[in-house]
Structure 1
Amino acid sequence: MIAAEACSLAGMLDQLRPHVPAALISDAAWTRVQGMAGQVPAALPRVVGLECRLAHDARTDLALGLEPAGGALLAGGGSWVAPGTPEHPVWERIRSFCRPRGAGSGLTAEETLSIWLEFDDVGDAAEGPVSLPVPGIFIEIAPALRGEAARTACLAFVTRVIGELAGEHAVASLSAPLRHCFSALPSGACVPGFGFFPGRAASAVRVNVSCPDAARLVLYLQAVGWPGEANVLRSTLAEAARARGRTGCDAPEQIHFDLAPHVLPRLGLEYFLARTPQANGTLVEARFLDALVSRGLCTPGKRAALHAWPGTSLTAFAHTLWVSRVRRLVHHLKLVCEGGIPVEAKAYLGIYQV
């Protein structure tokens, strides 16, 4: 086995390329993903994610899900230092956040389920070698902070992390809107995660909300000041529920909106897919994909490619001692909505070593 930190993620992904349908991720997009992955140690992520647009946009973003060992490597416990744009302050903030410092600071298992770094594919605008972009940062909140009794503690955690990762200026502008977002949550709803994109032009905090009832979800969005059309969103939610074989009151597993500091019009509706059948190579959400194709949000070729992606394989990676069992899943589909109208569909592919 080669030293784990000497093996890049690109080498690991190269071994999985035969499982990646070209209709879903083109050769050009794969080359760009590999350009970013080649600057990341294979030992860093717990999960590798690939974000694919399902219409004619070929861009594919790279996402890394970190567990404590990967967080320690990123924090400087190993020899790797983030390349590409190390002078950007976000890298030092991420490293500082991942350093163990005890309760009430940084990355703790009691508060944080995982941290995700997302690297945007700039598409054909890339010239020459692909540099590692400044990442988007997402925090999955630990289940203990998602209950109704823990909302005050959860809000305090979110506010603290925004200060650590985005700076106190972000806290100053977002603390009041965030309090309103938490106080307006209906019974049974929670904030399972949040994130932001320091490398993008627009400065905003993304808030994820889980609310199982579609009617209460729409009322919540109205209460926090979402400027879209409520009736249009109700129709979109009902149509998606029917395509999934659900009742009209069922909501997506999660939605997200951006605070800047007001709620922006764009929403993300995240629909999680059944995992167990995918271990045997079966994607059971065929009706949902068919509906996306009929709406022009997914090409027929990418629909077929999504069905070909799930499965399990045994692979010997250079950075691991033993043969790894690798599961390939479509974790969720996302409808991006403007004013409640779906304008784009994305698939989030997961690569898990189990």
Structure 2
Amino acid sequence: MTLSFALGHALRPFASVARRKPVSVQSPGEPIRPTAEMLDGAIGAAVAALEQFPVAEMLASTGAGVHSVDSPAAATLVLLALAESEGAANAHGASCVRRLLSSRASTGFWRFSPDSERSEAGESARALVALRQWNMPLDPPPALAALLSRDAAQTSSESGAAAIEGVPPEADVATTADLLLLAAHEGRSLPGRAALVSEKVRTQGLLGCARGEPAVSPFLLGYLLTRWVRHVGDHWQLAVPLRAELISLWEKGEVRGAVNVALAMSALMNLGRPTDVNLFERTLDSMASLLLSGQSEEGLWPVAPLYEAGDVVYGSLEASAALCIEALVRYVRIARIAAERTDNFLPGALPPRSGTWKETLAAFDNDYPPALFSPESRARLLALGEWLPAALEGDGGFEVRLLEGTPRVDFILGIKHDGQALLAGRHPHSELPAPLFAAPEWRRIRDFARAWAEPGGLLDREVDAFWLEFDLDAPVASPPLPIVFLCTRDQPVAVNEALHQQKSDTYRATLHAGLPLLRGDEAPLTPELQRGMDVCIEALPPGAHLYAACVMMSRRSKNLRFTLKNVPPERVVAYLEAVAWPGDFQQLRDTLAWVLPLGVNRFMLNLDLAPQLLPTLGLECSFQGRAQPAEEPRWQRLLDELVTRGLCAPSRRDALLAWPGRTQVNLPAGSATRESVFDKRLAHVKLGLTGAPVIEAKAYLATHRTSELLRPR
């Protein structure tokens, strides 16, 4: 049997583990969007049923029938799932904790089963993570700790595949995923293993990586990998192909069986909201509806195959229930279940927006915290908004200073591919104000947008987004000039030397194609500047990403700013040493010494070239998964520390913590009202290091339009 069981035979091996018919929540041919009452009832019934089981068992299905296996693997999965389920089924969780504590061998390891050849390292790493999430922080055995401390990589001359010391080249991806997750909980980064896993998933997909002895279900593998991605932050080199494959499998109808749906659903939620929020939410809606329709009257779901070894297929009734509970609890947490959900927020579904951004920014007036937005800063935002057509679609954001007496608020607008036409002067219904093009800077933006919009061109392939940032430290100029950010498509540097060079070359080619269009003849890419760019790119550690190159049009500066993403915290100093950053390393080390213990685990670096590196450094700090303060207590600790160190006013800290949420903006649209729902998020805190004794702290507030509809007046 092959791993096709996960797609085509999800229920067959456990046909004897049968229950009564499922409760239907669907009309024939018409799926029903889950309501809060349906979800609460389903979760309550499942928790009550799970609490009746004394312990989680692993079942094995063979030609001779179904029998239990002496394996801790089911208890581990239950603990992982219930840890995300807001205290659900605590009694059953406690029994699983006892099961793991009693089944740990004298070596400190766990095995999948007494006769299994499955790597002890992966099973033990997963069990340790599960126990830590239940406040049982056991230390890894010395052999496992030694394995986690090694991340050397070398390239095989024959196959070009990276072999990681301590993990043989044939090690299954699931084992490596478990090691990565444990290392993250240990506060360690393993970029070599991370790059290796990312490359395997990119080239082989989940179905091709679901191997081992026993082999893991591809959906369980996706669940394990995305738990690691969620814990460590934005590893988009893995997140992008994983999300694409999961949604593709779902749309093709290949995610079969409730537990596989739950695993895929949790994996997508682990990866966070993508750019296409509407597709994401509709997919989760459909998955949740299927989970409800597959639940039995007892509150349980059919057992799903989780592992396979030869002709033996393994699953667990308790793990199946816990994984479905996790998916539903987390769906309730993030879903928008209002009866008036919109389904028409699609390209072409609504008439083009008229007017300018001034109306939208004005409609936010009740959302602007007075501690952050002074009357003067709000007036400047509205004055800027008059220059920007409402049809210039994008995510908005605000840059705010954190000390009293600094009222300045800058505005940021992120333009994706759907804004190309307007910037290029080719939008069928809207255009930029003609006075803008009196400035050569805006003419260069138009030239860039036209090149970006060429189908199949280098910029079309490699530029992901284009950000406009407007400094509002003075009354709005006529015309206003932005700082522009050319954001590259994710090309993380791989551990493989050949791929490293290939991706570095792609970065360089993209910058050489785009930057001259934006900088013009007044600020050419001189050989000195190109050498500085090359040094910064070549030194990127495995897994890091050149996120953006910035042209400071509004400041009339020839400097170039790089924004680097996913530089591991423990490699920040080493990277800056490698590029010969001329800044104050002692100030940097002192800053990291108090930032890292706060749990900051997502860093972006801002470096300035002129053409050599300048001693300035921007250190953007946030948390994996972009979790918000309500679900991420480390935001409070970080902002409290800024207040303690005199870098943030208490009133501004409180305003930042209160910012996240949803708000509705209603604007007139002819005979109708255009209703837009925006997510408000705290994006990151930026620490500006210049060598001066005082560090400047800023915060970035994001808004994202998640849905829109028209209502008759």
Q: Tell me the TM-score range normalised by the shorter chain.
A: 0.7 to 0.9
Output the CA distance in 2 between the equivalents of 1:330 and 1:31: 22
Does residue 492 of structure 2 align to residue 146 of structure 1?
yes
Does residue 90 of structure 2 align to residue 90 of structure 1?
no
Amino acid at match of 1:286: Q
**TM-aligned CA distance change 1:341 to 1:233, over 3 Å:** farther
Which of the residues 267, 272, 275 maps onto 2:617? Answer: 267
Structure holding more strand per residue: 1
Q: Answer whether contact 2:568 2:603 (CA < 8 A) is retained.
A: no
TM-score after normalising by structure 1: 0.88
**TM-aligned CA distance change 1:105 to 1:165, over 3 Å:** farther
Output the CA distance in 2 between the equivalents of 1:224 and 1:340: 21
Which of the residues 642, 662, 671 maps onto 1:312? Answer: 662
Amino acid at match of 2:606: H
Q: Answer whether contact 1:282 1:307 (CA < 8 A) is retained.
A: no
Output the CA distance in 1 between the equivalents of 2:681 and 2:431: 29
Which of the residues 517, 525, 529 maps onto 1:171? Answer: 525
Q: Partner of 1:196 in structure 2?
A: 551
Q: Partner of 1:227 in structure 2?
A: 582
Q: Partner of 1:336 in structure 2?
A: 688
Q: Once the 2 structures are TM-superposed, how far is the Cα of residue 5 of structure 1 from its aligned partner?
A: 5.2
Output the CA distance in 2 between the equivalents of 1:71 and 1:82: 16
Output the CA distance in 2 between the equivalents of 1:58 and 1:323: 30
Does residue 537 of structure 2 align to residue 182 of structure 1?
yes
1:200-225 CA-partner distances (Å, limit 9, x unpaired):
14321111122443342212212222
Q: Once the 2 structures are TM-superposed, how far is the Cα of residue 234 of structure 1 from its aligned partner?
A: 1.5
**TM-aligned CA distance change 1:342 to 1:206, over 3 Å:** farther
Identity of aligned residues (%): 32
Secondary structure of the corresponding residue to residue 24 of structure 1:
coil
Q: Once the 2 structures are TM-superposed, how far is the Cα of residue 82 of structure 1 from its aligned partner?
A: 4.2
**TM-aligned CA distance change 1:67 to 1:214, over 3 Å:** closer
Q: Answer whether contact 1:193 1:208 (CA < 8 A) is retained.
A: yes
1:267-287 CA-partner distances (Å, limit 9, x unpaired):
101113564446x79875011
Q: Once the 2 structures are TM-superposed, how far is the Cα of residue 323 of structure 1 from its aligned partner?
A: 2.6
Q: Answer whether contact 1:281 1:310 (CA < 8 A) is retained.
A: no
Amino acid at match of 1:57: T
Amino acid at match of 2:361: L
Q: Answer whether contact 2:471 2:554 (CA < 8 A) is retained.
A: no
Q: Partner of 1:16 in structure 2?
A: 364
Unaligned runs of 5+ in 2: 1-348, 707-713
Secondary structure of the corresponding residue to residue 170 of structure 1:
coil
Does residue 484 of structure 2 align to residue 131 of structure 1?
no
Which of the residues 621, 631, 650 maps onto 1:300? Answer: 650
Q: Once the 2 structures are TM-superposed, how far is the Cα of residue 342 of structure 1 from its aligned partner?
A: 5.4
Secondary structure of the corresponding residue to residue 49 of structure 1:
strand
Which of the residues 109, 117, 142 maps onto 2:468? Answer: 117
Unaligned runs of 5+ in 1: none
Q: Once the 2 structures are TM-superposed, how far is the Cα of residue 105 of structure 1 from its aligned partner?
A: 4.9
- In terms of mean alpha carbon deviation, does 314-323 or 208-217 score higher? 314-323
Q: Answer whether contact 1:49 1:348 (CA < 8 A) is retained.
A: yes
Secondary structure of the corresponding residue to residue 562 of structure 2:
strand
Output the CA distance in 1 between the equivalents of 2:633 and 2:386: 30
Q: Answer whether contact 1:283 1:310 (CA < 8 A) is retained.
A: no
Q: Answer whether contact 1:146 1:154 (CA < 8 A) is retained.
A: no
Q: Once the 2 structures are TM-superposed, how far is the Cα of residue 322 of structure 1 from its aligned partner?
A: 5.2
Between structure 1 and structure 2, the one with the greater Rg is 2
Secondary structure of the corresponding residue to residue 384 of structure 2:
helix
Q: Partner of 2:416 in structure 1?
A: 67
Secondary structure of the corresponding residue to residue 101 of structure 1:
coil
Which of the residues 38, 45, 48 maps onto 2:393? Answer: 45
1:196-252 CA-partner distances (Å, limit 9, x unpaired):
20221432111112244334221221222211122321221121112x335xxx5x5
1:79-121 CA-partner distances (Å, limit 9, x unpaired):
4224554222221111121122233354x1x312210011111
Q: Once the 2 structures are TM-superposed, how far is the Cα of residue 332 of structure 1 from its aligned partner?
A: 1.0
1:264-309 CA-partner distances (Å, limit 9, x unpaired):
111101113564446x798750110011111211111111111221
How many residue pairs match? The answer is: 341
- In terms of mean alpha carbon deviation, does 97-106 or 204-213 score higher? 97-106
Structure holding more helix per residue: 2
Q: Once the 2 structures are TM-superposed, how far is the Cα of residue 189 of structure 1 from its aligned partner?
A: 2.2
1:17-41 CA-partner distances (Å, limit 9, x unpaired):
1011111111111101110012111
**TM-aligned CA distance change 1:33 to 1:84, over 3 Å:** farther
Output the CA distance in 1 between the equivalents of 2:362 and 2:616: 35
